[in-house]
Chain A
């Protein structure tokens, strides 16, 4: 409860429900045999689609490797484990996004 009595607890429970349901965002594309988003292909996929990997694209795409790339852990990117990894990614991501925006909000709020 906040000073003005808005109860956010129920809304945070909804966020938790969404995290648990998030693997649908992995399952449905697999069921319908859909690929990734248009224009978000990695270098390997691009080779199949365009026939080659543009030189500059390859160089810049190798600059940063995300710690939890594609919301999956190494060896946890297929089958049932990938759904678990997706939920864990949701928990980690939501916690980080909420924490950063909460702290920034505290700093930037009206004095």
Chain B
């Protein structure tokens, strides 16, 4: 889901950078209002987890690979706006240092995975898990919310990615009639990216989220009670 440089034309990547600017600004303001000093180490830990979990490429035999993002889990742990920043930092380091996702495409990748995925995942989680509080994190709905939320979040991000890639041949065609950037049309990008996320990578995301929540509930219950 990390769009490389060159797959998106200037208007698309520029537009998505422009869309992320107010999101980062708003997220920073929300952090100033809500992020407690004791949560700062957890912010660093969450961003680190998101980075490392994305290194675990899951193979489709003979096909492609994909991975979980941890985005919804991070939102459950530190709140959605801090999660926007945490996942954005992980994506920025991936792009700058490791060439995983492009620099021009960083706005798009942050829009998909650090903004849309985080907010959709967290909203669905909250809808199912109910109100915050010590009691809420002990119930079954808390885990179901984590599973369904993270599954919905990653699939929403996958859909946006497919959309952004698939519209490129409509937007940019060279003088020879061939696409200038991503050459694959919507009817190819949507099934290719959605099927693998609906049936495999989304399930992996849900499993990772539930597994970590289960572990934290046993080992660090205090960590979940404050926020969730």
Contact = CB atoms under 8 A, between A and B. Distances in A.
A90 B42 CA distance: 19
B59 A94 contact: no
Contacts of B140: none
A39 B89 contact: no
A61 B93 contact: no
Contacts of B172: 56
Interface string B52-66: 110111111111111
Contacts of B223: 6
Contacts of A12: 45
B179 A54 contact: yes
Contacts of B39: 105, 109
B98 A89 contact: yes
Interface stretch (B4-12, B110-118, B122-130, B148-156): B4-12
Given A39-B182, A90-B52, A110 B33 contact: yes
Given A90-B52, A101-B48, A110-B33, 18 more contacts: A8-B45, A22-B56, A29-B65, A37-B64, A39-B161, A39-B189, A40-B3, A56-B9, A60-B104, A68-B97, A70-B98, A94-B52, A96-B93, A97-B48, A97-B89, A99-B44, A105-B44, A111-B32
Closest 8 pairs (CB-CB, A-B): A66-B99, A61-B6, A56-B180, A34-B59, A57-B6, A105-B40, A60-B6, A101-B47
30 contacts: A6-B38, A6-B222, A8-B42, A18-B52, A19-B52, A32-B61, A36-B65, A37-B66, A54-B181, A56-B180, A60-B102, A61-B5, A66-B95, A66-B97, A68-B99, A93-B98, A94-B51, A97-B44, A97-B50, A97-B89, A97-B93, A98-B48, A99-B44, A101-B44, A101-B85, A102-B44, A105-B82, A108-B85, A109-B40, A110-B36
